[in-house]
Every structure is written in structure tokens, then in C-alpha cells.
Structure 1
């Protein structure tokens, strides 16, 4: 058991016992003969008293010695103990969010009952939504991205430093062969393209890195863009000096929060290297200056880089807030299987504006008017490798309008599976100044909801379920009104 944890638990117990007996720190100091500052440090988990001091506290507070030193907490503090013992505060680098662990402990010790209720609520929500440890870590990284507008200048500078050191020309697309040469010559990698396919259980993996032999195993069927991303991510791990890392792509499980964060750093570096900021900014300016939306030019911009549509849209979330001051946006990735009416939201990111509601609604049906879902339907019925569409989405009830751009592609590793990537830009004065084509009448406009269960649109031709959530809310409001009327009448 860590000494720090033992000190924290003792401090929490001492403070609870003292407050239960209506004693101030000054009062406890008076009856025990121990200084107020010393007792304060004990309660904050900074010091652990010697046995003779514990004996004094035990006697003066009329609490058995064994109970004082026991690590078992009563029901009021048990969830806090579980949180501390889980080491979750150690696994998350709180300094990323400008938080000191000591500050959290102060909050816990000052209002243990309230914090206990809060923690219990979080645990209950997590269990209800099957919120795993990995999901918690990913949500933490997503919050970190949002807090920084998903732009990290230190990583952008590292990309420029790498390109100069290894003479990688960022003004024109490079191939995976260019990066492969650096991996082999500089970092001693061995590239193996046959071993991975011999393991049927690993069929969904694109790559596996074996650190002992510095061997990178690649899956059959990966295209040039995927290969380049895998290589540049490996470059990131090495060039940034990251050792606590994941060894598979996509990931299987995370051992620590650092691995989640480092995975994000490596992915960001890879995206910034393959899609350089200056080159993308110049091309986007050309798209935005057009009086009408030029789909061909936008697709040309997307294809100008050796990257997948997902990497391109992800990179937009870095560049638009920084280069164009477009900070209110969301990013969504959906998957869909042919022959089903199910659409699964696998990834989301929201910057500044809180696109509402923000999370997966259990067993609810996302709006079938979303362009994100329509491009999935289109590609599942066509033989195209890429479907693109653009839409003005008016969110009924939220008083919000988004310009949404969406691309769909086939999943090369799953039969009859498709995925769509979308970016939604909140339409406001700032966007109107930056995008000249917003008045283009050829861009279709749709009244949309979020899920059918919460959508107020009447007579929707693609509704998948009745608006049960709205009906419940309306019923409750009616009940409230009647009760209020009865109170006003003072019925006897």
C-alpha cells in the first residue's frame, strides 16, 4: 500500500471524526496538545503521525486506536477511498488541465459527503453506460483536445524540425517509401508484410510493432495512405522519444493514461507531417474564396495529400480554429453495415460550441436526415470508393445551424462495412466572413434533429421511432402545470 494513500486516508478519517464531534482544528489542538498547523497537515494527507501522537488523538477523540489506523472507511467515505486506491489520479496527468492533485485532495477533505455523492453518481453513470476505463481515458484526452482547440504548436514545431533534419519536402506529397527509408536507416526497423496475415485472430489489425526486434508487421490490403500514416506514426514515437506507447494499430487496450495521450501525440504528429499546415491553409483559402461551393476543388484539396479522408477531416479540426479562427465545430465518425438500419457513432470531437446532445444516446436512433448517414447509404448502394456530400443542417429546437461536409468510404478490413467522416461548422458571423460560398443556393438545407426519440419535427418521412423522450417531457410539464394550478387555488 502506498504511503501517500495511507496518509490521505488517515487525514480524511481524522477530519471526519473531528467534525462529527463539532471540534475545530483549534479545539482539537487545545485538547490534544498538538499544534494546529501539524493537525492541518495530517488532515490534508501531507503527514502521518507517529504512534504516540495517534494514541493521544485516539484518547482525546474517544476513538479506538485500531479504528484510527484502519484503512477501512465507513460508507460515507468508501467511494473516495476507492477513487484514491484505484490510482486514477496518478494515471491522469492532471497538470495538463492546470489542476494540482493537492487541490483535489483539499476539495475532498473539505466536503467529503458531497464529493462522495458526486463520485457515487459518476460511478453509477459509468456502469449504466458501460463506461470502461479506456473510455474514461479517451474522454479525458478528448477534453484535453477541446481545451486547446485541438491545436498543439509544440507538435507542429517538432514536425518542422523533423522535416528539416531529414530533408522531407513539406511543399509536395511524399510517399510511404520515403518514410520507410528513414525508419530502416535511422531507427533500425525491419518491415515485415507477410507474418501478420498468418494469424486469423489479428485480421482487424493494420500493424503490430515488435519492440524486441524493432519489427513492424503490416497487414495485407492496407493502401498507400494507411501505410504512410502507420510509418509516420512510428516516426513520431521515435523522433519525440516516446517509449510508453501502444504496439498495435488500431489499439487493443491501454495500460495507462500516458499511453492514450502518447497515442494522440503520435497521431497528431503523423497528421501534421502528412498534411502540412501551410500547404493545407493555402488550399483551403482557395476553396473558401469561391462565391459558390466548388466540390471538385474541395475533393482535389483532399486528394492533394497522401492521406485518408479521415486523416484529412481530422486535420481540418486542427487548422480551421488556428488559421481561420473557426472554433465552433464538431467531428463525427460513423460506421454502418450493409443491409442494416443501424449507424454507430464511433468517434466525436466538439470544439467550443456544445453540439447538443453530446453523447451516444443508448438505443436511440440518430437523425436519418443527417448527411453523415446519407453518404453511408449512398456508398453502400454504389460501387464508388468515395462518396461526398455537403448540407446546411438546421437543428430544430436548438436554434443552431451547421454547414456539414461528409465523406464515406468502404472499410477495407470488414466485409460490407462502411464509415463516414464529417465535420460540422457552426454558422455564425465569423463563418460568414470566412466562407464566401455560404449563400450558395445549390447547397441543400435540411431541418434535422439529433435522435428520433428527441426530435420535434412533425411528419418526418424517415423517422425511425416516435419522439418518446419529448412525449415524456411534455407529460411531466403538464403534471407540473396542474400541480401549480392546484397550489394557486389552495384546494382543501
Structure 2
């Protein structure tokens, strides 16, 4: 639920005027003949009184009607005026994290100037880094996934109970959409409508028709139909109408799109099957790339979807919780990180837009190799940071002809060898790695593409601090 600035501003003013009189809610209630509970709802921005009650409140508080209803905050609450009208702030889905938007009113009233300074600072930081409301929504969703370890048993159950004992095929899902929801399917040709080339599916609600891109593979069509079936089966209303975001209207749309996508992946890659197959794979004492491909190719989805499903089940079913998922794309010969999720803390391989990622990361080095579809496994040792990770990376070419890599990383803790038997296999490469070239202490690295400038600056600052300390 979005914050309603009109209600919140009215509630802020009413509470401030009441406190100026030194009255409790009960005392104001007795004077104005409004229950304390209803007054409390008004002050929290949940309710908005009728005109006659506003007039009476103004008379009791010694304020004009306009003093109460105007959104111009001229009192000590003045710094909050710009905040309350700022879309960046009012669109934050506080309730998604268990925070009632009205609860922040207390902080506003207690220290409005400091609170306004804090929020304004966050807004300015967001603007400096070009953080739009849409980017905020996706950042919130990503944080939510990390908090829940990217596993949602209620969605798993919904997928398991959808058409049990039925093989999920394109024909089955089309029939389900047509009969159960009166949604027919059609095709659109991106060559005739080039502007739509980046879209896989388009829903036209008024025509009750789902359009599929003619250039989709069989797996992509099936996933698009499964996603649409998820929207329908779960009764989701607030949702995007296209597979790729054209515009974002609310956080509900973003979250519901995630739910439908999760449903589609869980439907097409059932957790019981994936857990059974992956457990067998991990118990083999030898790394076997061919067997890994056989395991992921049995599912009618993309390699990325299977990797993402592994990312979901590893914490719950294998006790491997310290994970990260990275997706790189080669853009003008340079690796660009386009997707990143971390579980249980922020791990060493992470986004850094202003520096050059370590070229020894398997997800980057595999991009520079010529093969169309290849696996690479590696134990990456961030010795200077005190962490080691087992990584599986896969390179593929996307529908636009661009090379992409996906990486599943697992932090190596004491118990990992009892869960992954092939870690001692020499086929699994071992490398010393860094975060970025600019921070890396591996001075003899042949893959380096930039000088360790950040490391030099840090060492210089350390020397300055030592010199200062020696003066004491």
C-alpha cells in the first residue's frame, strides 16, 4: 500500500497541534466527541475525517480550517513538506517489510528536521546514482528474496497442486487458458513489428488474447504459457501485460510478476525431481560436465532457469546457504553484470560499476572463450579477504546473439566436502582471485586489465595514519 500524503500530512498536523496544547488523545477525544481510537487512526494517516469534524477539530484546537487541510507545512514540520510529496518516498512499499507506513509518523513528529534531513539525503543519493522508483522496486524485491533465501514453500505447493500427474506441455497449458479462463493464444511477428522484437509475450486483456513472439523457442513458449497460467491460477490482478517491462506502475506489479515467474519455474522444474537428480550428481567423486548437462537438459526450460531453481533449493534441501547468483553479458567486449543475488550476506564477487571485475572469475573468463555452450567449475580463493567459493559457470548465446554467462557460487565452509563429493577432483580448477583489478593485491596477475589504484590509495592512507599515530 502506498503512502497517502494527504492523509499523512493531516495526521501530522493534528498530532502536532494536539501536542502543542499538551493534550493526550483521551483529552482531545473528550473535547471533540471523537473516540480516541478513531483519533489515533487519523493521526496515523489511516483515516480522514469528514468536513464537519475537521471544522470542530479546528475550533477546539484554535486553528482555522485551512490550517488543518492545507498540505503546506509551515510549522516545525515544514521540512517534511517536500518529503511527503516526493514520489520516491511515497512509493516505498513499507508494509512489504512489516512496517506500517503510519508508524513513521511518530518519528516525523518527534524529530521532523532530523528525519527530513535523513530522507532527503537518501533521496539525493538515489538521484546521484540514477535510482528511479522502478529501480527502487526491483531493489526491494531483491532484498526480499535474499531475506527469504529465495525459497517460497507456498508457491512451491501451488505449483505442485496445479494439474498433478499431468505432463505439462504447450498444448495442455493453452487448453487450460482457453477453457478455464477464456484466454486464447495468437502469434506476432517481430519482423513486421520491429518495436516488439524484445518482447516474448503480450497480453491484451480486452481481447482476452495472449500473443507469443514467433521467434520463441519451444522452451520459451512453454515458459511464457506457464507464467500466464500462474497469473490466472493465483487470481493475480495487478500485473504487467508484457514479458519484458515496458512501464512499471506499482510495486504490486513487480512482486506479482515475481510470483508468476516463480510458479512457472517451479511447475516446469519440480523441486522433488531436481533435488533427487542434483543430490545424485553431488555424490559422484568426479566432476562430470556431460552428466551435469544431461541433468539440466531433462527440464523443458532454459539453463538459466535451472540454475535459478538450484539457487532456490540449495539452502532448504542441501543446507548450503551462503550462495550467490551472477549473470554477465558481453557488451562491446567487456563483461557487464546484469543480474546479482546474494544469500546470507554480501559475498566477495559483487557489483562494482566503476572498476574492472577480476578476469579470473569463471563467469568472466568463460565469456572470452569461443565455445557456444560450455561449463566451467572453479574453486576461487579470495585469500586477502579470507573466503573461498566453489563456482559453476555456464556460457550461452541469448536470443539476440549476445554471449551470456550464469554463475552459481557456494561459499566453502567446513561441511561442504560432505555435501559435494567431487571437490577434490583435479578437474575442478583452483585459482587465486580478487574482486576488481583496482583492489587486487595479486601483482603478478597476467589477466590484469587495470592497475591496483584503489589498493595503492588505501596503502598510502595507511602509511599516513601510521605517521600520525607515531606523533603521539
> What TM-score results when the alignment is normalised by the length of structure 2?
0.87
Match of 2:124 in 1: 124
Match of 2:254 in 1: 260
In 2: Cα distance, 1:315 partner to 1:241 partner: 24
Match of 1:113 in 2: 113
Match of 1:481 in 2: 466
The alignment status of 1:324 with 2:315, answered yes or no, reads no
Deviations 1:288-340 (Å, cap 9, x if unpaired)?
A: 11112222221111111011011011111111111112111011111113xx3
The alignment status of 1:54 with 2:45, answered yes or no, reads no
With over 3 angstroms needed to count, the CA separation of the structure-2 counterparts of 1:17 and 1:190, relative to structure 1, is closer
Match of 2:210 in 1: 216
With over 3 angstroms needed to count, the CA separation of the structure-2 counterparts of 1:8 and 1:313, relative to structure 1, is same
Q: Is contact 2:189–2:214 with CA below 8 Å preserved after alignment?
A: no
The alignment status of 1:143 with 2:143, answered yes or no, reads yes
Match of 1:344 among 326, 336, 345: 336
Deviations 1:250-289 (Å, cap 9, x if unpaired)?
A: 2222111111001000000000001001000000111111
Match of 1:395 in 2: 382
User: 1:130 Cα shift?
Assistant: 1.0
With over 3 angstroms needed to count, the CA separation of the structure-2 counterparts of 1:98 and 1:104, relative to structure 1, is same
Uncovered stretches (5+) of structure 2, i.e. residues with no partner: none
The alignment status of 1:366 with 2:357, answered yes or no, reads yes
In 2: Cα distance, 1:471 partner to 1:224 partner: 52
In 2: Cα distance, 1:14 partner to 1:242 partner: 38
Aligned with 1:181: secondary structure?
helix
User: 1:220 Cα shift?
Assistant: 3.1
Uncovered stretches (5+) of structure 1, i.e. residues with no partner: none
CA RMSD of aligned residues (A): 3.3
In 2: Cα distance, 1:308 partner to 1:182 partner: 23
Deviates further, 310-319 or 291-300: 291-300
Aligned with 2:340: secondary structure?
strand
Q: Is contact 1:389–1:405 with CA below 8 Å preserved after alignment?
A: yes
Deviates further, 9-18 or 342-351: 9-18
User: 1:90 Cα shift?
Assistant: 6.8
Deviations 1:27-60 (Å, cap 9, x if unpaired)?
A: xx89xx899x79977755467673454356457x
With over 3 angstroms needed to count, the CA separation of the structure-2 counterparts of 1:344 and 1:129, relative to structure 1, is same
User: 1:117 Cα shift?
Assistant: 2.6
The count of aligned residue pairs is: 464
Match of 1:168 among 144, 154, 166: 166
Aligned with 1:290: secondary structure?
coil
User: 1:128 Cα shift?
Assistant: 1.7
User: 1:366 Cα shift?
Assistant: 1.3
With over 3 angstroms needed to count, the CA separation of the structure-2 counterparts of 1:3 and 1:237, relative to structure 1, is closer
> What TM-score results when the alignment is normalised by the length of structure 1?
0.84
Q: Is contact 1:376–1:418 with CA below 8 Å preserved after alignment?
A: yes
Deviations 1:203-247 (Å, cap 9, x if unpaired)?
A: 121221212222222223221211111111011011111121111
Aligned with 1:478: secondary structure?
helix
User: 1:429 Cα shift?
Assistant: 2.3
Q: Is contact 1:392–1:401 with CA below 8 Å preserved after alignment?
A: yes
The alignment status of 1:444 with 2:429, answered yes or no, reads yes
Aligned with 1:362: secondary structure?
coil
User: 1:122 Cα shift?
Assistant: 1.6
With over 3 angstroms needed to count, the CA separation of the structure-2 counterparts of 1:90 and 1:276, relative to structure 1, is farther
In 2: Cα distance, 1:204 partner to 1:41 partner: 47
Match of 1:277 in 2: 271
Match of 2:409 among 424, 439, 457: 424
Q: Is contact 1:195–1:217 with CA below 8 Å preserved after alignment?
A: no
Q: Is contact 1:197–1:219 with CA below 8 Å preserved after alignment?
A: no
